[in-house]
Amino acid sequence: MTPHTDRHPFLRELETPYLLSADAMRFYRDKGYIKLKDVFSKSLLTWYGDIITEWVFRLNTLTKPMEERTTYEKAFLQVMNMWREHDAIREFVFSKRLARIAAELMGVQGVRLYHDQALYKEPSGGITPWHADQFYWPLSNDNTITVWIPLQDTPLEMGPLAFAESSQHVAIGRDKEISDESEAMLAEALKQFPVHETPFELGEISFHSGWTYHRAGVNRSARPRKVMTMIYMDKDIRVIEPTNSYRMNDWKTWLDAVPVGSVANSKLNPILYSAG
C-alpha cells in the first residue's frame, strides 16, 4: 500500500455522520433503493476518484476489443477489493459515514464489508442487464445493501443506475445471473414496477437492497462512466451453503471460506460501523 498526504480535511468528512430523515428510511424500505444528494463534497470525490481511476487501469485485466466481449464484459471494467491495494482507497471504502447510512437504512446495529468494486463503463460500453445482486451472495438473509458512487456527473447518456421500484419484495427471477437472457426475461417480468432512471450529480449517490432489480444503459458519451461501489451486510449475517457456482466462488473469494453457518467475520469482512 502507498501512503498519500494532503487528505486530512477529507478524513473528517469520511467519518462525520450524514443525517438521514425518517422519510428517507421509509422510502428505502418501501422502494428498495434511495438516492441521496450531497453525501460527499465534489473535492473529496475528485481527489479519491483520481486515485481510484489510476488503480482501476493499473489492475484491470479485461483488454479484449469491445466487439469480442460478452454482454457482461461489455457492461463495465470491474476491479474488486481495491481497499487491499492502496491506503487512500482503503480510507474511502472504510468510510464510517457511508457504513452508518447503510446500517440505518437497513435498520441493523452495524455492518461489515462484503467487498468493494469499481465499475467503469467505457465509452460505447454496453448495457448492464437487469439483475439482483444477491443471486451471487451465499448469505442468510436480505440485510444487504450496495452503495453506488459516481465519480463524475452522470447524465442519462452515460448509463446511470436505474431501479425497479419495490421489486425487492418479489421473488421474480432470483435464479438469474446477469446475461442477455436475464435482460429479456426480467424486462418483461418487471413491467409491473415503476422504473426510476435519472441522472446523478457529483456528490449524489444511491443505495439499493441486494434483491432490488436494477440495470444501467449504454454509455453513449465519449468519457468513461466511473463508479465506485461497496457492498455492506449486517454485521451478524451468516454464511449459507452456496446454491450455485457463483455463490461458491464468492464464498471462497470474498468470505475467505469461513464455515457455513457461522457469522461472516473473516479478515476480508471487517465491521465498518457499529452503533454499540
The percentage of the chain sitting over the pLDDT mark of 90, rounded to a whole number, equals: 80
Q: State the pLDDT confidence band at 61, using cuts at 50, 70 and 90.
A: confident
Better pLDDT: 3 or 69 = 69
- pLDDT value at 40 more than 50: yes
- pLDDT value at 276 more than 90: no
In this structure, of 165-174, 196-205, 252-261, the range with the lowest mean pLDDT score is 165-174
Out of 73-82, 127-136, 139-148, 177-186, the most confident range is 139-148
Q: State the pLDDT confidence band at 1, using cuts at 50, 70 and 90.
A: very low
CB half-sphere exposure, 190, CA atoms < 13 A: 28
What is the pLDDT of the chain when averaged over all its residues? 92
- pLDDT value at 3 more than 50: no
| CB distance 16 to 105 below 8 Å | no
| pLDDT given at position 71 | 78
Q: What is the DSSP letter of 17?
A: P
Closest CA to 205 of 45, 8, 31: 45
The percentage of the chain sitting over the pLDDT mark of 70, rounded to a whole number, equals: 97
The arithmetic mean of pLDDT across residues 147-155, rounded, is 98
| pLDDT given at position 6 | 59
Cell of 113: 464489508
- Superfamily name with CATH number, domain 14-259: q2cbj1_9rhob like domain (2.60.120.620)
92-148 pLDDT per residue, tens = 999 999 999 999 999 999 999 999 999 999 898 888 899 999 999 999 999 999 999
207-260 pLDDT per residue, tens = 999 999 999 999 999 999 999 999 999 999 999 999 999 999 999 999 999 999
Strand spans (E) along 142-276: 144-150, 161-164, 195-196, 205-209, 214-216, 225-234, 271-274
Mutual orientation of helices 96-106 and 8-15 as an angle, nearest 10°? 10
| pLDDT given at position 2 | 44
Closest CA to 64 of 53, 74, 75: 74
255-274 pLDDT per residue, tens = 999 999 999 999 999 999 99
Closest CA to 205 of 160, 270, 143: 160
In this structure, of 2-6, 57-61, 255-259, the range with the lowest mean pLDDT score is 2-6
The dihedral of CA 253, 147, 30, 276: what is its sign?
Answer: positive
